[in-house]
Structure 1
Amino acid sequence: MKDIAIYGAGGYGQEVACLIKAINAEQPQWRLVGFFDDTKSIGTEVPYGRILGGMQDLNIWEQELSVVMAIGSPDALVKLIAQIVNPLVDFPNLIAPDVFFHDRESVKMGKGNVIFFHSLVSCHVLMGDFNLLNNDVFVGHDSIIGSYNVLNPSTRISGNVVIGNNNFFGVCSIVLQGLKVGENTKISAGSCIFRNTKDNNLYIGNPAVTRLTPGSVLK
């Protein structure tokens, strides 16, 4: 059993704790030692554990520790990862026991990815680092997903889709086959992408249309 902590003690953090519990039920792997969260005091009891501290405390942690990021904002996730400098910290991939892969050996991923329950990943999928695939997400064949992407429940990514970095996919959003989603894009819940997106834009509707002009930056 290896020590693991969750960064973020909100709703996502609770879901990640449930995911760790489910993984251990299949095969004991992890000992959840608690949560790191910069908005709560050390020792505060939260569902599934207690607060171990914030970023400063994580960076002076003196034992080897696996950390899973439970952060639902791509921008916040990028900033937090850049601040973690403790060489004793590593970032495992956490995959729910019921995730179905069409061909697991053909799926390659980096570090810090989380794939929740009832999701499906097809074959020949490439995935970078720190992507969060929430419950019931589908990723089609030959798709490429960069890093720091948040795919909320029931997102559907069709085959041969290329996704860049730092993108947010709302609940039940859809990207049709062969399209490209670039950088810093937000896709609203229930929206369907019919054509390549423009970076730094918000897309809403079915078919989805942009609500910001090219070059605008979402904060």
Structure 2
Amino acid sequence: MTLRLFVYGAGGFGKEVMDVARRQNAVSRRWDQICFVDDIREERTFYGTQVLRFNDAEVAGHLDQAEFVIAVGEPAGREKLGNKLREAGARLGQVIDVSSLVADTASLAEGLVVTPLCSISSDAQLGRNVCVNTMSIVGHDVQVGENTVVSSMVNIGGACVIGANSYLGMGALIKEGVRIGSNSIVGMGSVVYSDIPDDVIALGNPARVARPNTDRKVFK
């Protein structure tokens, strides 16, 4: 059976995910073809690869022969596309860069994206459709909820719990044992020493709640 990988999102982050998938496939030979799915981009080729629409027969008619990973950097966008794929009966795959170190005891759910030079430590649990970006560290026994985005060079100390649909900005440092709620944003460079509740934006060193996360937009 021909197995294809669809990278859902043909933008800047899509290019990064495509690079990871190509490197992974050069080793594993899992997929016979890798291409983009994007419902907005007008071009039918991007980054040297075919761009399809989700409703194209080539995609919608062959979901049993395909896996998807979502290449969107906003948790809300990841959640929306993840729900769309689930309702359509599509399968999420996993894209993990060959340069990243992943413990054998880590639990990795479907849809996971791990970009270069990351460390996923012992007994970490990464939920459905999570994204961990370049040079980030996920410590032992950390739990990360579905659709959450860990930006580049984030360090999450051991036994932290990160809720669903949250965003940890570039270079954030999370002290061991801290709990960060769902639907929250931790600003880049922030240092988190104590728990952060649901539905807020927290910034600074030490990180403090700045305002509610009402629109769930990271990039404005």
Same fold (TM over 0.5): yes
User: Partner residue of 2:88?
Assistant: 86
- Mapping of residues 61-210 of structure 1, within 5 Å: 61-63=61-63, 64-84=65-85, 85-87=87-89, 89-101=90-102, 103-104=103-104, 106-210=105-209
Out of 175, 189, 214, the residue aligned to residue 217 of structure 1 is: 214
Secondary structure at 1:68 match in 2: strand
Unaligned ranges ≥5, structure 1 = none
In 2: Cα distance, 1:13 partner to 1:4 partner: 13
Distance change (3 Å), C-alpha of 1:26 and 1:218? same
Secondary structure at 2:55 match in 1: helix
Unaligned ranges ≥5, structure 2 = none
Shift of 1:48: 3.2
Query: 1:60 and 2:60 equivalent?
Result: yes
In 2: Cα distance, 1:57 partner to 1:83 partner: 15
Q: 2:31 is matched by which residue type in structure 1?
A: W
In 1: Cα distance, 2:81 partner to 2:37 partner: 12
Secondary structure at 2:4 match in 1: strand
Query: 1:2 and 2:7 equivalent?
Result: no
User: Cα RMSD between the aligned structures?
Assistant: 1.8
In 1: Cα distance, 2:48 partner to 2:192 partner: 37
Q: 1:25 is matched by which residue type in structure 2?
A: A
Q: 1:51 is matched by which residue type in structure 2?
A: V
TM-score by length of 2: 0.90
Shift of 1:190: 0.6
Secondary structure at 1:16 match in 2: helix
In 1: Cα distance, 2:145 partner to 2:62 partner: 31
Question: Percent identity of the aligned residues?
Answer: 24
Q: Deviations over 1:13-32 (max 9, x none)?
A: 10111001111222322233
Q: Deviations over 1:95-154 (max 9, x none)?
A: 1112113x31x1112210011110001101112100000111101111111111001110
Secondary structure at 1:172 match in 2: coil
